Amino acid sequence: MSTVKNTFNTIDALSLAIKIYKDQGYAKSINMVGEETRKPNKEILLEMLVKEANLPDSREDIQELLDIKRDLLFKKLSGDISDYEAQVLGVLDSTEVNAGQIGILSSIPLMLDNMKKREKRQEQYQYFKENSLHQGQIGAQYFGAVTLHQKKYHERGFWIYTFVNEGKNILKWMTGKDFPDFKNGAKLKISGKVKAHNDTDFYGKETMLTKCKLIADLEGK
């Protein structure tokens, strides 16, 4: 009578978890992507481990995941570790994991990806804080080429458009209008009026615009 394997090598499991995350992103439960059903990462991972699937070469990615352990150890020592992070640390600190830990392990690549995104945002914030300058005079007309850095919907019912000119200066426009064709990274020409000059914790010097209009899409030329 064959028995189902229920303990697995941690490094092997992490290698497969990385592959699954790269293939489909992260799904905690069954969901639909277009017309396709996406199975939970933990379910796919457990199936692959039980079947002893071929392991991908994920040495660089594995090292990044193991580096998380150092950061989590510092958080544990400082008493600032969450329950989820404590479970992740427990997995990374073990040579083997059981079937009950596969759910946590399958989410670790997502955790790493989110950490990288936060670090990138912090680097961007720091760059703009050090380099952004106020544009134009308050009350004056503004016209220029910009890149759409971020488009965000506010819960109070308006959109916040964050633009960058000259690769460093932050301009913002708050409006009730949605422009679905505007994607992050779009090259635009806008005209508007300088409403205010702000100093913020995120971007440093920001130029607030009002009554803006799209003049031309430089990418369309």
Per-residue pLDDT of the chain (221 residues; tens, 9 = 90+): 445 578 999 999 999 999 999 999 999 887 655 557 789 999 999 999 998 888 887 777 888 888 888 889 999 999 999 999 999 999 999 999 999 999 999 999 999 999 999 999 899 999 999 999 999 999 999 999 999 999 999 988 999 999 999 999 999 999 999 988 888 898 999 999 999 999 999 899 999 999 999 876 655 45
In our burial notation (b when 16+ CB lie closer than 10 A, e otherwise), range 136-153 reads beeeeebebebbbbebee
Quick one: pLDDT at residue 2? 46
Residues 19 and 97 in one domain: yes
Residues 117 and 11 in one domain: yes
Residues 80 and 28 in one domain: yes
Evaluate whether 94 touches 13 at the Cβ level (below 8 Å): no
Residues 100 and 21 in one domain: yes
Residues 41 and 119 in one domain: yes
User: Domain residues for 164?
Assistant: 141-220
Residues 20 and 89 in one domain: yes
Residues 103 and 164 in one domain: no
Residues 117 and 94 in one domain: yes
Q: Which of 179, 130, 128 is nearest to 153 (CA)?
A: 179
Structure tokens at 47: 């199936």
Residues 112 and 14 in one domain: yes
Residues 91 and 28 in one domain: yes
Residue 158: which CATH number?
2.40.50
Quick one: pLDDT at residue 59? 78
Contacts of 181 (CB under 8 A, 6+ apart): none
Decide if 23 is inside a domain: yes
Decide if 135 is inside a domain: no
Quick one: pLDDT at residue 1? 41
Residues 49 and 117 in one domain: yes
Contacts 24+ apart (CB under 8 A), 157-164: 161/212, 162/203, 163/188, 163/190, 164/128
Decide if 154 is inside a domain: yes
Decide if 136 is inside a domain: no
Structure tokens at 58: 């994920």
Q: CA-CA distance, 14 to 20, in Å (whole number)?
A: 10
Decide if 43 is inside a domain: yes
Decide if 104 is inside a domain: yes
Residues 119 and 175 in one domain: no
Q: CA-CA distance, 221 to 215, in Å (whole number)?
A: 13
Taking the whole predicted model, whether its pTM rises above 0.85 is answered as no
Q: CA-CA distance, 152 to 168, in Å (whole number)?
A: 19
213 CB burial (10 A radius; 0-12, 13-18, 19+): exposed
Q: CA-CA distance, 10 to 185, in Å (whole number)?
A: 39
Number of domains in the chain: 2
Structure tokens at 16: 């497969």
Given the structure tokens 């460093």, which residue do they identify? 168
